[in-house]
Structure 1
Amino acid sequence: MSETRVPVPRATYRLQFHAKFGFAEAAALAPYLARLGVSHVYASPYLKARPGSSHGYDIVDHGRFNPELGDEAAFRDMVAAFRANGLGQVLDFVPNHMGVGGSDSLWWLDVLEWGPDSDYAGWFDIDWEPDRRYLLGKLLVPFLGDQYGAVLESGQLSLRFEPETGSFAVWAYDTHKLPICPLQYQHVLGDAHPELERLGDAFSGLPNWRPRVVQRARDLQAVLAALARERADVREAVGAAVARLNGEPGRLETWRGLDALIQEQHWRAAHFRVAADDINYRRFFNINELAGLRMELPELFDHAHALVFSLLREGVLDGLRIDHVDGLFDPKGYLLRLREQAPRPFYLVVEKILARHEALREEWPVEGTTGYEFANLVLGVLVDPAGEAGLSKVYAGFAEDARPFGEIVRDCKIRIMLNEMASELNVLARDAARIARQNPRTADFTRNILQRALKEIVACFPVYRTYVDGAVPVEEDRRYIDWAVAQARRNETDVDPSVFDFLHRLLTTDLVAEPRSGFSRHTVVRFAMRVQQYSGPVMAKGLEDTAFYRYNRFVALNEVGGHPDHFGVSLASFHKSNAQRAARWPHAMLNTSTHDTKRGEDTRARLAVLSELPEEWARQVQAWSRILRARRGDVEGTAPPDRNDEYLFYQLLLGAWPAELTGVGGLDAGQVGAFVGRMEGAIIKSLREAKLHSTWAAPDAAYEEAMLGFVRDALDVSASDAFLGAFLPFQERVARLGVHNSLVQTVLKLTVPGMPDIYQGAEVWDLSLVDPDNRRPVDYERRMWLLDEVTVALERDRRAALREMLAEWRDGRIKLGVTSLLLAYRRAHPGLFAEGAYEPLVAVGARAEQVCAFARRHGEDAAVVVAARFPVRLAADPDWAGTVLPWPRIEGQRWCDLFSGREIVPSDNGVGIEVVLGDLPVAVLVLEGT
């Protein structure tokens, strides 16, 4: 949206809050962030999360701050520090799910205690009447690390009395609290003590107190707590009653009493793998500890947003980032309610992954997305499409896998639906069969045949989800559903076509488009909307968390929101995307690194260099492999790791190799050792996410150790230097060329239409790997010192300073200097970047395709941005002669380069690129005197 009343940030800086980086630490950064030039802190979730949370997305209480980050006073001190330095806040808010398990989510514990009668039972997406009859009226709790009987026998499920509240609960591993329903307290208290017998009888009479059953239970628990506190005989009797039910570890028969009590509860404790088949609550993807919320319920919405609305009202917050908007039952309805009920206008962006052919919904009342599509767009313009055939040939030959990416994605999505998310598919098939039986024409469609067809349709979905909501489906939704069903028909030829006809009309809600259809409109619309909630997680787990780790042709493209089969972005497409954003989403967030990206922004920019060096890359990989395989006695190259995983390793090694270890005379063993640890973590995650040789649920220790051994052998500085001797010269060359790409990427993010975000620490080199590597502690003291040094140097002689920083690029000052200069210019010219028009400038001449240029214009203010693509070509031939850039017609103005200070005098025919680009591969030309 471009509504002027919305407080749009000029630029944000993402901070990741956790126990070791809380409100006090953030407050201390305020002066630094203000000097860097951002206008807002973009904060990860800081509402109360599960203890020890490293990310904050497992919220357990939307109405409180996370105490691990500091108390209320510390929060207010942080707010005051931000305000004193002119900084606002944008908060990452999580409406789709909350953390469960443990002992901290009061809503969840209440549901476990009271089942369907809990006041909060409807707030979670729970199926209380599943086909699995043993779960009728029960909630599956799949948090056990072994089979239920084994855990019970080992004594890791034990009954406890809670003296403060007078309640009983079973605890699993001393971690997960599983409350006993007060209706069963009589079975615990027994009749050995008269007071306990009397209370037990009172608890058994609770049903007579409807509708005050819960309050009456709390009153009786308070009586029990007081008696146990005041009388030693009662306290001892309660202890004896608990001990009677707890057995002896190693003797299963002694645990029968506790087992019988557990069978009476509203929960069923189970091995975590049971969730794949029998889960009866919606999760965030396939994570058992994150339970989905029904945020479409007004009372839940009001409760969950009370604190953030209060912070908006106070002016503490200027904006919200909505996490995982596609997980919501009705995203548009949620966003409309958010706008309508918020106490004042605010900046609003959504985490939404768009397919290449998909646009953000025009009717959504938001400023835009969080920018995954931009991260891939700006990387794409750095990738040389001429290198695709060469890299494809290298990959197919080395990894011996030439399957199309689309085929891999489909296979991975089907695997997810047959394994981790099979239960959800079972439920959808059951519901589809129930709908089919509402009409004689479809009554013979069985659950099994509908499940087969539905599985194939979801596997063929070209987007994460559609947004059918009961109104007439929009054209985009109908087009995506048409495509998925058509593809599914071709793949599942054994399924009767009429089944696909039925599901097509069900997913589009065409079944109830006419009166007297014979079908329930409510159940049809609800089914279509539930499928949408399912297709998104299947796409995410199948594509991002499986296929991206199997298809290793060129992993720079394997990024959240990315398309690994689409190699490079043309200048025309780049300009078109920016122009569309300027017209419709001028304040959308632009990011190049996030807490979720698979590789850091500079890791990807460095790897993009390989698109220009496919032949040399092929030679290097073959040589490295021969050296390492021979060192391990594997001359034939058949021992683990397999060639695909080996190929991934070389790319990660090249992309993430630390700048401080590049081009040095001797390698520091300690620094290399720290890097090896980082690589090992990324490699293990990659193997398990790929789900080919190992998985999270069943790790293959032998294969993983073989892979880690390969990594250690390669980076053993005490052994023969044959590998490192071959690797390091090529690495240094690619790293130097990657600096070129990184600077182009940085400048484009800070000048194209949109609101740029800087991920914590990424104002200098971000050569990180997949999380948790990209969430490592940031050395802010060093960054503060660097900014001081950079600022002084730029004020003294800007051009000389930047040239020196580029020559000494390893310390990251060059990126920090460029970033701080552009943020300062944005601060001095807010209208130019927030509202300025975007005008592509198309160079002419022999090297025109290497020039990415555009103008920003707002009133009488203007800027021209020029960047050089493809640094390998430029290094081989730095002569720009004959390549000219047309100049925007702004009469009577003089221009100078923001970085060098050089004056540029364009002619009527434009200006030669050799005049514009000098010391850096980028130039930002501004009106002199501004």
Structure 2
Amino acid sequence: MHQTVHPRIPVSTYRIQLNRTFTFRDVAAIVPYLHDLGITDLYCSPYFTAVPGSSHGYDIVDPTRLNADIGTEEDYRVMVDALQRHDMGQLMDVVPNHMGITRQLNRWWQDVLENGPSSPYASFFDIDWDPLKSELQDKVLLPILGDQYGLVLENQELQLVYEDGRFLIRYYDHSLPVAPKPSALILLHRLDSLIRETGPHSPHVMELESIITALRHLPTRQDREPALVAERYREKEIIKRRLATLVESSATVRTFLHENVRIVNGTKGQPRSFDLLDQVLNDQAYRLAYWRVAAEEINYRRFFDINELAAIRMEDPTVFEETHKLLFRLLKEGSVTGLRIDHVDGLYDPADYLNKLQSWAKKELTVASDVTERPLYVVVEKILGVNEQLPANWPVFGTTGYDFLGWLNALFVDRANERAFDALYRRMSRRVESFEELVYRCKQLIMQVSMASELAVLGHQLDRLSERDRRSRDFTLNSLTYAIQEIIACFPVYRTYTTGDTDGILDRDRVFIWQAVAHAKRRNPAVSGLVFNFVRDLLLQSSNHAESDCDERLKFVTRFQQTTSPVTAKSVEDTAFYRYHRFVSLNEVGSSPEQFGIAPSLVHHQWESRQELRSTSLSATSTHDTKRSEDVRARLNVLSEIPKQWKEHVLRWVKINRCHKTHVGGDTIPGCNEEYLLYQTVIGVWPLAPLDEPEYACFVERIQAYMNKAVKEAKEHTSWVSPNAEYEEGIRAFIAKSLDRSIPNEFLDDFLPFQQQVAQYGLYNSLSQTLLKMVAPGVPDVYQGTELWDFSLVDPDNRRPVDFSTRVRCLTEWTRASSADADRLARAQDLFARRQDGRIKLFLSADLLRFRRAHRELFAHGRYVPLAAGGEHADHLFAFARCQGEEMVLAIVPRLITAVVPDAQTPPFGEAVWRDTWLVVPVGQEGVRFRNILTGEVVKTVLRGNKQVLSVGEIFAHYPVACLEKVA
């Protein structure tokens, strides 16, 4: 068995999306390619048993088994063996916050539905068994019906079925258990008639009567004493076997039972015929309901507002142990070498969970002797707000890299043109509100329509607490609920992390709470500040409250913290980002659309700090969750440099396409805001290569599908909950007509030349950000397929199958080529000449990933040194050095390049372009030689004043980016 010494820290990762179309064996087949690319660790999406057909794996229904859609244990071993033969590790995506509960696949959830609070798994899920609505006492609300319960029932959509000694309720693809005790109602129906027909001494009927008696004497689901629970579980299984045997052996009983099932299922048009089925359903540990009521009455915590994903109580040691059995086995045997923790903010106590992981690892894994605090490589999916740092008590190696993405992307946005984009967006959208104000309104919307139940629970918890103190008992339920809602709407980060332990509240969290309450009070001058102060003091664990209320206060604080995160995510990422289109390159997970570009000095500062504190964080540029791929953003960023041209074209396109709009009920479709999003989208994703007719039709469908998702997420004219078919069809038709190339098209005639100009500049941005990611502090993370040009949009667009055969073929050709410096220069020139095919990005990635793998210590521990530039185009360079001992590598890229080469077809090469521009190098003597890893060219430092410099014209003599290695 392969032995891994922990922590194994990746040098680079490659994220792959596993599902039924890309399995363990498919991954095994590309492992040699990934190794040749320079990747050290595979980064896998979740692959424990999920809902069949899941395209992503985050709807896990059984964390104790591998996903059969992806492969068997043997298939998994083939993948792991391939990784270990190539000395590659595996970073696994772990989903600790929630489970899928659809259909009958989650055995823990099914047990809860059958047995209610007496189920041994009742504590696994975050269920409120004593909710505000008394009718839900000891029940779970299941909002799975497509219409009102009574209508669904009387339409015979709910069907009772008998199966192997038990009864089930079928509703389309849902299969729900019928509890044992209520099953007696079904068997009792017409029993007298059966006895009269067969006689009271029929052995089969006597057995049936005995089974009914046994059912009626079972302990109820409210009985939670261990002995009674054990009796219930033992006896109900015996009863099931007895009933199955009886039905199998007696035709009379079998006929009786099936006829009863038919009768219980009722007759259409006869409402009273459904009374018995209604009675059976009312006696279950669940209550079926119309799915639209979920937001107001649901009593189990969900993943965001998704009813099919139920939150689990990972803070319970039993839950932790049961859900991690398979994961820990894979870690212990070395199949998995690191973890990516999904949605860490959903957990009750993230620090506690992460410490449990590390404690287990320290005890069970082969750990390097000098490692004590973090023996297992763990990174967390955490969205950091402005000026927010990871909590210091989290024993992790960093984040999944959205913070890095935000800084890198902003570097290529021209901050000097923010006002021009503000003016154009006001004209296009006719909106004047700030993004901050929009987020506030979106939070209010989400709390009202998607998470009303969570707000109601918080309000009642707070009301109970206020009644226990004479200084707060006069606060009304409405005022308290309103205060909570306003504070959450003003919350500056996703969540805080108060746990009630002896360490108290974190200083960072204290600041965020004060900010949120202060903003809420300013927004509500007509509301007494005392009610806001009351909430603030609770969140800050003020000592003014009675010690006896400690548990209740902590329960409120914890629930509050677990609410702010999904509210923020749904409001910002899934609503505001689809409403605010000033410059959509900035509408990215972990980024702020308000930050229009950034000073290079700030990026240097951030990356210096990253090298010191979080050099093992992932450096991501595209992920499965990003709204646009790295190459789309790189292309769109060009627009920030040319606001005048962009404005002229957009206004022209609006006039040209006005005739394609439709008018319904006073609405013009699409609205100006959606139309502006469409033009940015099409600019960003337009293919580099010409498309034939079938390919073009698919492209247009991709744009239509994206815009349909975008307007639904915006929740202004249509939504997932309440679709507006006319509006959606209007946008679909507008896109089809605007992009119709089968007839003369004035829009395309104007659009395409401009788009091609932007696309050429965008390629330089893409190469620049690729190089920076590979050389900057952090662990470079490559999302599947993006080593070639990739112009994908948000999922499901970015989950399309990857053509690995093309990538393997391209890389194989490169690997076979000579590595002599002269040949490398010729290859680099050829790649640039044919840059449209994407191989230039592939080979840039491979060159740098291989170099990084061969110089691990330099990149792991080498200093980050910002490099200054001078001369005519100094402001259009971004450069830094990585230094360790005598080793030194320089990363130099252009930025905001339209000002350097006004003609997009002119290569940004040589002194004719860069003129008298130079780069200061931290060496002490003249003539120090640096070799370009990408081209093989060698440049030497010269003395300029009292500094050693390199000529930028020489650095970029034949290639648009440079990575220079100091040579003897």
Say whether residues 1:24 and 2:25 are aligned partners: yes
Say whether residues 1:677 and 2:701 are aligned partners: yes
- The Cα shift of 1:782 comes to 1.1
- Which shows bigger deviation, 908-917 or 833-842? 908-917
Q: Whole-Å Cα distance in 2 between the matches of residues 732 and 133 of structure 1?
A: 63
1:639-666 CA-to-partner distances (Å, cap 9, x unmatched) read: 31100000000011000111213xxxxx
Alignment match, 1:495? 527
1:702-731 CA-to-partner distances (Å, cap 9, x unmatched) read: 011111111101111112221111111011
Alignment match, 2:934? 899
2:681 partner amino acid: L
- The Cα shift of 1:236 comes to 2.4
Q: Whole-Å Cα distance in 1 between the matches of residues 145 and 826 of structure 2?
A: 62
Tell me the secondary structure at the aligned position of residue 750 of structure 1.
helix
- The Cα shift of 1:232 comes to 2.9
Alignment match, 1:205? 217
Say whether residues 1:749 and 2:773 are aligned partners: yes
Alignment match, 1:545? 574
Q: Whole-Å Cα distance in 2 between the matches of residues 68 and 235 of structure 1?
A: 37
CA RMSD of aligned residues (A): 1.8
Alignment match, 2:644? 615
Q: Whole-Å Cα distance in 2 between the matches of residues 632 and 489 of structure 1?
A: 44
Q: Whole-Å Cα distance in 1 between the matches of residues 624 and 348 of structure 2?
A: 25
1:652 to 652, 664, 681: 681
Q: Whole-Å Cα distance in 2 between the matches of residues 103 and 728 of structure 1?
A: 52
Relative to 1, partners in 2 of residues 1:794 and 1:807: Cα closer, same or farther, differing over 3 Å? farther
Is the contact between residue 672 and residue 715 of structure 1 (CA under 8 Å) also seen in structure 2? no
2:654 partner amino acid: S
- Which shows bigger deviation, 520-529 or 185-194? 185-194
Say whether residues 1:865 and 2:888 are aligned partners: no
1:550 partner amino acid: R
Say whether residues 1:167 and 2:179 are aligned partners: no
- Which shows bigger deviation, 175-184 or 346-355? 175-184
Alignment match, 1:664? none
Q: Whole-Å Cα distance in 1 between the matches of residues 953 and 876 of structure 2?
A: 13
Tell me the secondary structure at the aligned position of residue 125 of structure 1.
coil
- How many residue pairs match? The answer is 914
Q: Whole-Å Cα distance in 2 between the matches of residues 313 and 206 of structure 1?
A: 43
Say whether residues 1:336 and 2:367 are aligned partners: no
Relative to 1, partners in 2 of residues 1:58 and 1:869: Cα closer, same or farther, differing over 3 Å? same
Say whether residues 1:532 and 2:561 are aligned partners: yes
Q: Which sections of structure 2, spanning at least 5 residues, go unmatched?
A: 195-204, 221-226, 366-374
2:287 to 250, 262, 268: 268
Q: Which structure 2 residues correspond to residues 117-196 of structure 1 after superposition, within 5 A? A: 117-163=118-164, 166-173=165-172, 175-190=173-188, 191=191, 192=194, 193-196=205-208
Relative to 1, partners in 2 of residues 1:249 and 1:44: Cα closer, same or farther, differing over 3 Å? farther
Say whether residues 1:473 and 2:499 are aligned partners: no
Alignment match, 1:828? 854
Relative to 1, partners in 2 of residues 1:27 and 1:230: Cα closer, same or farther, differing over 3 Å? farther
Q: Whole-Å Cα distance in 2 between the matches of residues 607 and 920 of structure 1?
A: 22
Is the contact between residue 185 and residue 204 of structure 1 (CA under 8 Å) also seen in structure 2? no
Q: Whole-Å Cα distance in 1 between the matches of residues 881 and 633 of structure 2?
A: 26
Tell me the secondary structure at the aligned position of residue 256 of structure 2.
helix
Q: Where in structure 1 do 4 or more consecutive aligned residues deviate above 4 Å?
A: 631-634, 890-893
Alignment match, 2:956? 917
Is the contact between residue 818 and residue 899 of structure 1 (CA under 8 Å) also seen in structure 2? yes
Q: Whole-Å Cα distance in 2 between the matches of residues 419 and 851 of structure 1?
A: 48
Q: Which structure 2 residues correspond to residues 276-291 of structure 1 after superposition, within 5 A? A: 276-291=295-310
- Which shows bigger deviation, 539-548 or 908-917? 908-917
Tell me the secondary structure at the aligned position of residue 870 of structure 2.
coil
Is the contact between residue 152 and residue 252 of structure 1 (CA under 8 Å) also seen in structure 2? no
Alignment match, 1:926? 965
Q: Whole-Å Cα distance in 2 between the matches of residues 413 and 381 of structure 1?
A: 29
1:725-746 CA-to-partner distances (Å, cap 9, x unmatched) read: 1111011101110000000010
Q: Whole-Å Cα distance in 1 between the matches of residues 775 and 310 of structure 2?
A: 40
Relative to 1, partners in 2 of residues 1:529 and 1:913: Cα closer, same or farther, differing over 3 Å? same
1:888 to 898, 922, 939: 922
- The Cα shift of 1:485 comes to 0.3
- The Cα shift of 1:386 comes to 1.3
Tell me the secondary structure at the aligned position of residue 284 of structure 2.
coil
- Which shows bigger deviation, 325-334 or 625-634? 625-634
- The Cα shift of 1:195 comes to 3.0
Tell me the secondary structure at the aligned position of residue 378 of structure 2.
strand
Alignment match, 1:849? 875
Say whether residues 1:356 and 2:386 are aligned partners: yes
- The Cα shift of 1:829 comes to 0.8
Tell me the secondary structure at the aligned position of residue 901 of structure 2.
helix
Q: Which structure 2 residues correspond to residues 73-112 of structure 1 after superposition, within 5 A? A: 73-112=74-113
Say whether residues 1:775 and 2:819 are aligned partners: no
Q: Which structure 2 residues correspond to residues 326-475 of structure 1 after superposition, within 5 A? A: 326-342=345-361, 343-344=364-365, 345-470=375-500, 471-475=503-507
- Which shows bigger deviation, 903-912 or 482-491? 903-912
Alignment match, 2:223? none
- The Cα shift of 1:836 comes to 1.4
- The Cα shift of 1:899 comes to 1.2
Alignment match, 2:199? none
Q: Whole-Å Cα distance in 2 between the matches of residues 697 and 854 of structure 1?
A: 49
Relative to 1, partners in 2 of residues 1:876 and 1:444: Cα closer, same or farther, differing over 3 Å? same
Is the contact between residue 662 and residue 668 of structure 2 (CA under 8 Å) also seen in structure 1? no
Tell me the secondary structure at the aligned position of residue 467 of structure 1.
coil
1:737-792 CA-to-partner distances (Å, cap 9, x unmatched) read: 00000000100111001001110101101200111000001111111112123334
TM-score (norm 2): 0.92
TM-score (norm 1): 0.96
Alignment match, 2:864? 838
- The Cα shift of 1:251 comes to 4.2
- The Cα shift of 1:893 comes to 5.0
Q: Whole-Å Cα distance in 1 between the matches of residues 90 and 269 of structure 2?
A: 55
Is the contact between residue 170 and residue 179 of structure 1 (CA under 8 Å) also seen in structure 2? yes
1:221 to 240, 252, 256: 240
- Which shows bigger deviation, 205-214 or 56-65? 205-214
Q: Whole-Å Cα distance in 2 between the matches of residues 177 and 642 of structure 1?
A: 43
Q: Whole-Å Cα distance in 2 between the matches of residues 709 and 253 of structure 1?
A: 48
Tell me the secondary structure at the aligned position of residue 170 of structure 2.
strand
- Which shows bigger deviation, 785-794 or 705-714? 785-794
Q: Which structure 2 residues correspond to residues 696-707 of structure 1 after superposition, within 5 A? A: 696-707=720-731
Q: Whole-Å Cα distance in 2 between the matches of residues 816 and 832 of structure 1?
A: 23
Alignment match, 1:254? 273
Relative to 1, partners in 2 of residues 1:518 and 1:298: Cα closer, same or farther, differing over 3 Å? closer
2:809 to 778, 785, 788: 785
1:813-861 CA-to-partner distances (Å, cap 9, x unmatched) read: 0100100100110121111112211111121234222111100012322
Tell me the secondary structure at the aligned position of residue 67 of structure 1.
coil
1:222-265 CA-to-partner distances (Å, cap 9, x unmatched) read: 21122223333333232122112111345433222111110111
Relative to 1, partners in 2 of residues 1:595 and 1:633: Cα closer, same or farther, differing over 3 Å? closer
Relative to 1, partners in 2 of residues 1:803 and 1:409: Cα closer, same or farther, differing over 3 Å? same
- The Cα shift of 1:62 comes to 1.0
Relative to 1, partners in 2 of residues 1:638 and 1:882: Cα closer, same or farther, differing over 3 Å? farther
Say whether residues 1:509 and 2:528 are aligned partners: no
1:562-614 CA-to-partner distances (Å, cap 9, x unmatched) read: 10011012111111111111001111011111111000110011000000011
Q: Whole-Å Cα distance in 2 between the matches of residues 593 and 631 of structure 1?
A: 34
Is the contact between residue 385 and residue 493 of structure 2 (CA under 8 Å) also seen in structure 1? yes
Q: Whole-Å Cα distance in 1 between the matches of residues 432 and 824 of structure 2?
A: 50
Tell me the secondary structure at the aligned position of residue 824 of structure 1.
helix
